[in-house]
Amino acid sequence: MLKESAAARKMIVYGGVGGALYSLTQFGEVIARKSLGATGLEVTLLSMSMPITQLTSMWWGKILTGRDQRRVLWIIGMAGILAVATGAVMETYAHLLTIFVIFFMSMALLATAQNRIFQQHIPNKQMGGLFGLSQGLRMGISAAAAAGIGWWLEYMDKGWQQLFPAAALTGVISLWAIAAIPTGEEGQAAPLHWRYWLLGPLKETSALLKRRPDFLRFENAFMVYGAAFMMTLPVVPIFLVDDLQLSYSEIGMTRGAAFQLIMLAGIPFFGRIFDRSTPHRMSAIAFSILTLYPAVLLSAKYVTGEFRFILVMLAFLIFGFALSSVHVVWNLASIRFTGPGEDAGEFQAVHIAATGIRGMMAPLLGYLIMSWFGREIALVCASIVWILSAGAMIWARQVDRKRGEAYSLRASG
């Protein structure tokens, strides 16, 4: 019990303190467009840096499986933090893109490591609640940081040069917390040989998905949701800057503070719901709510002054509420699918890698629709795809029940 409590406390620190660094990354595309003169394609490429680097999770997952992960976390985590610290001298879009690629690659490792810790140290009935508490703290810090970051960028020339190294310092504290938690030998350790690392993780990922058709169906439905989400990544920042003419401080208050404040309340709530519900049910409801976000955001273009600001605020409140549920499911659902003797990190690695697969296509699709038909049509298309994703998740759960393959969810209904 003492071991579990110590791990729980460290995970709360890890989740909470990382909020400032997380908040700063939310301004990446806005900084690129508003201050560094990035083109629409360059904004799109920057938005793709996070999902594409998550493909590395397949390799991270195999490196960690069956081993104590602490040394790996320190080495790779510090590489990402040092990359962020170089923002102190950032002057160009290319430098910003490099920071994002290195940092998000390290985050793919930490997300995989997090689920191994939950599996090995936290009882199932407490998992959602603990995750909700840590992430709620994270969003509270992020909300305060976002408001401050927006103000700083608005009134300080090249203000990011002070913000990036400051955020890196908080990242060190967050890394220390998660890298201090030992993990045991769950699952079969992969051989440390270069021939294996060329294709081994890909073959084992394919084998896992064939072995667990319920997990494959869940991932397919989640892939549809993720495609819609990533279609909006290059569109929304440009829409806010070019169409709505919002300032840094207004973007900080709406896309930053309001969005994360609603998640502050939502994540602990949905964390508790997760302990009593299923990932499929939570996902289908959240995906349906997300369809409202582009509609409300689009309506802000047709009003001015404080009414525009209010509608943008409402759009991000809706977005944050729905994503609170998605955030819990995205981080914890893979643990529900993990059977006896299996490593949750492997399942989460596949889940994260799927983010990378859609990240290679969906932002570019959003960019092409935006370029050919306009930003409004691109946002409408995202709403349509979100509706389809809700239907896909309902269908996946029905097939699980019909075929008797909902192995992971029998305990929770």
What does pTM read for this prediction?
Answer: 0.80
Q: What is the pLDDT of residue 2?
A: 38
| Cα–Cα distance for residue pair 53/353, rounded to 1 Å | 8
pLDDT digits 0-9 by tens, 44-81:
999 999 888 888 877 777 777 767 788 888 999 999 99
Predicted local distance difference test score (pLDDT) of residue 412:
42
pLDDT band at 201 (very low <50, low <70, confident <90, very high): low
User: Of 158, 142, 175, 374, which is closest to residue 259 (Cα–Cα)?
Assistant: 142
Instruction: Identify the pLDDT of residue 226.
Output: 94
pLDDT at 220: 93
Q: What is the mean pLDDT of residues 136-150?
A: 84
Angle of the 124-155 helix axis to the 160-179 helix axis, nearest 10: 160
Would you say residue 373 has pLDDT above 90? Answer: yes
Q: Which residue from 161, 355, 347, 147 is spatially nearest to 254, judged by alpha carbons? A: 147
Q: What is the mean pLDDT of residues 115-124?
A: 77
Q: In this predicted structure, what is the pLDDT of residue 380?
A: 96
Instruction: Supply the mean pLDDT for the chain.
Output: 86
Q: Check whether 409 has a pLDDT greater than 70.
A: no
Instruction: Tell me the two tokens of residue 164.
Output: 């990036």
Query: Residue 307 pLDDT more than 80?
Result: yes
Select the more confidently predicted residue: 138 or 247. 247
pLDDT band at residue 382 using 50, 70 and 90 as cut-offs: very high
Please give the Cα distance from 367 to 294 (Å, whole number). Answer: 16
Cα 92 to chain centroid distance, Å, stands at 25
Across 18-37, average pLDDT = 88
What value does the mean pLDDT take over residues 331-357?
78
237: helix, strand or coil:
helix
Distance CA 190, CA 184 (A): 14
Residue 6 CA to residue 3 CA, distance in Å, equals: 5
Percent of all residues in the chain with a pLDDT value above 70, rounded to a whole number: 92
Judge whether 222 and 355 are in contact, CB under 8 Å.
no
pLDDT interval class at 1 (50, 70, 90): very low
Structural domains in the chain, CATH included, are: 2-177+194-403 (1.20.1250.20)
Task: Express each pLDDT in 210-250 by its tens digit.
Answer: 888 888 999 999 999 999 999 999 999 999 999 999 999 99
Query: What are the distances in angstroms from CA 45 to CA 51, 53, 123, 194, 354?
Result: 11, 12, 40, 30, 18
The string of DSSP letters for 277-322 reads S-HHHHHHHHHHHHTHHHHHHHHGGG--HHHHHHHHHHHHHHHHHH
Sign of the C-alpha dihedral, residues 371, 372, 375, 379? negative
Task: Find tokens 């302990």 and name the residue.
Answer: 275
Please provide the distance, in angstroms rounded to a whole number, between the alpha carbons at the two ends of the chain.
27
Residue 395: pLDDT band with limits 50, 70, 90: very high
96 — alpha (psi -120 to 50), left (phi > 0) or beta?
A: alpha
Give the CA distances from residue 23 to residues 117, 168, 277, 280, in Å, rounded to whole numbers and listed in that order. Answer: 24, 12, 29, 28
Round to whole Å and give the CA distance between 92 and 352.
Answer: 29
Res 372: pLDDT: 96
CA dihedral 199, 203, 209, 210 (to 10 degrees): 160
d(C-alpha 239, C-alpha 123), whole Å: 44
pLDDT band at 10, cuts 50/70/90? confident
Question: Looking at the predicted structure, is the pLDDT value of residue 205 above 50?
Answer: yes
- Please say if the pLDDT value at position 353 is more than 90: no
- CA–CA gap between residue 177 and residue 334 (Å, rounded): 23
Q: How confident is the model at residue 186 (pLDDT cuts 50, 70, 90)?
A: low
Task: Give the mean model confidence (pLDDT) for residues 11-37.
Answer: 86
Which one-letter amino acid corresponds to residue 381? Answer: C
Q: Which long-range contacts (CB under 8 A, 24 or more apart) does 236-242 make?
A: 236/297, 236/379, 237/29, 237/30, 237/33, 237/43, 237/47, 238/29, 238/33, 238/40, 238/43, 238/370, 238/375, 239/297, 239/375, 239/379, 240/30, 240/312, 241/30, 241/33, 241/34, 242/33, 242/375
* Per-residue confidence (pLDDT) for residue 122, from 0 to 100: 76
Dist. CA 238–CA 256, nearest whole Å: 15
